[in-house]
Structure 1
């Protein structure tokens, strides 16, 4: 299966992932608030393969609390 393995038997297909460069939240010295030095990786919850329904519900609840 072509994608990112999250855990044994649980994976995400590559098209379900998006990435972007963002400013890192930590200390940065001269480059603080100027340079995007961190990578944010986002995944589509519905695209997770091999995840139990209970785990899917917990992830959705955690997402909705944000």
Structure 2
């Protein structure tokens, strides 16, 4: 099983939120924003590369499991 933890943090700007998660070693951050309500997708940010991509909510679990297995 993959260790899962969900944290809701709405303090500070998005850059500070990402920085806090980087410090504790969170491999991926999932961001839900106003656009998520329209396109049913979230932004997934990679801690190591800072690459961001939009992923459909329905595909999120599979996407993260695949990335964690790399």
Which is helix-richer, 1 or 2? 2
Higher relative contact order (CA 8 A, sep 6+): 1
Considering the TM-score relative to the shorter chain, is it more than 0.5?
no
**Structure with max Cα Rg:** 1
